[in-house]
Amino acid sequence: MKTLRSQMNDVEDQAAKISVEEQTHITTIQALEKDLASAKSETKRLKEDTERMVKAKGEISSQILEKQRKIASMDSDSSTLAQTLELIQRERDSLSARLLEKRLLSAQISVIVKAHVTILIENFDAFTATGLTIQRLQMILIPNYRNNRNGSTYTELVEKWESMDWGYILPSYLGFGFFLASSDDLLHGKCTIDNHLIVDNLGNDAEKNLIAKLESAKTKLVEIAQMKSELVSENNKWSEFSSVMVALFQMKQSIEQLKCSAKDFKTELLEMDIKTLEEEYKALLSDKVGQIEYLQSLQKQIKQLKALILLDEMVVKEVAKAGVSLGRTNDG
């Protein structure tokens, strides 16, 4: 009996130990089940976070592509605007050069006309003098000069001069016709200026009349020279005006060509003036710098997201491995 009781006590003690061990195992299993449930919940949350991150990554990639398209469009518009500005600058430089050339030409023509008028007046003063010699006549006569009245050439004038004992060279009222008169012609009243008697052998009165007519002829010559100068100046003005009109017409054609080439531009760009376009161009350049910085920031964020995704994948794999190992232990 004692042996049986001792064995029963041993069995009870062993059963109690087994019960304690079972309770310990049950507690451990429950704790592991809780941990597994928590791991599954965490895995699910990580998967959801991963999906959100992937979705956010897709949205960010879409935004990056949109920004890249916008930057490419801005680059194209900036290039087109730069080319347009360069063409306008070239056209302006060309027009400035043409206007400068026209001004220089006008100034040269004005100087030449003034010089010719001065020479004509000086020649007139010289021709009104009396007692001219052949040498002086040769110095002041214009080459291929013709007499308005009888069409005498320079050679004929010289020959006629040499045939006279002395003579005068007198201007006609036209300012360009000259004729020779001998002393006999003058004394007998045979010389005329444009069919007007010069000297009619009336003494001082005839001389005074001759001087008056000569002064009148000189005055008319000066008036004609002034009229000619004014006419040349007016012609120069009209020529310059015509040149300016031609330049404006060419500028208009260039502007029309630019407008035709600018048909592909956006309506907003066409409605802007040059200053606004330049400001917009500068703003685009600054915006481009900002876009580049923003893209760099997005790339950094993408790298960080990729690192987080890799970390999450590693955690998920580790949790899955732990779950598989735990399942195998439970099965054992």
Token representation of residue 74:
């801005």
- β-bridge partners, 192: 197
The predicted pLDDT at position 155 comes to 52
- What gap in Å lies between CA 272 and CA 331, rounded to an integer? 79
The predicted pLDDT at position 204 comes to 52
The predicted pLDDT at position 177 comes to 38
Q: How far is CA 274 from the centre of its chain?
A: 9
Burial 46-78 (b: 16+ CB within 10 A, else e): beeeeeebeeeeeebeeeeeeeeeebeebeebb
Place of tokens 């200053």: 275
The predicted pLDDT at position 246 comes to 64
The predicted pLDDT at position 122 comes to 62
What is the block-wise mean pLDDT of the chain (332 residues), using blocks of 10 residues?
72 80 84 84 86 86 84 80 81 80 75 68 54 42 38 48 42 38 40 39 53 68 70 66 62 63 57 64 69 73 70 65 56 52
Place of tokens 């630019």: 258
Cα dihedral across residues 127, 132, 138, 139: positive or negative: negative
The predicted pLDDT at position 175 comes to 37
Query: How many residues are given for the chain?
Result: 332
Q: How far is CA 80 from the centre of its chain?
A: 12
H/E stretch holding 179 reads strand 178-182
Cα dihedral across residues 141, 145, 146, 152: positive or negative: positive
Domain ranges within the chain, ordered by starting residue: 100-263, 272-332
- β-bridge partners, 171: 178
pTM for the predicted model, two decimal places: 0.28
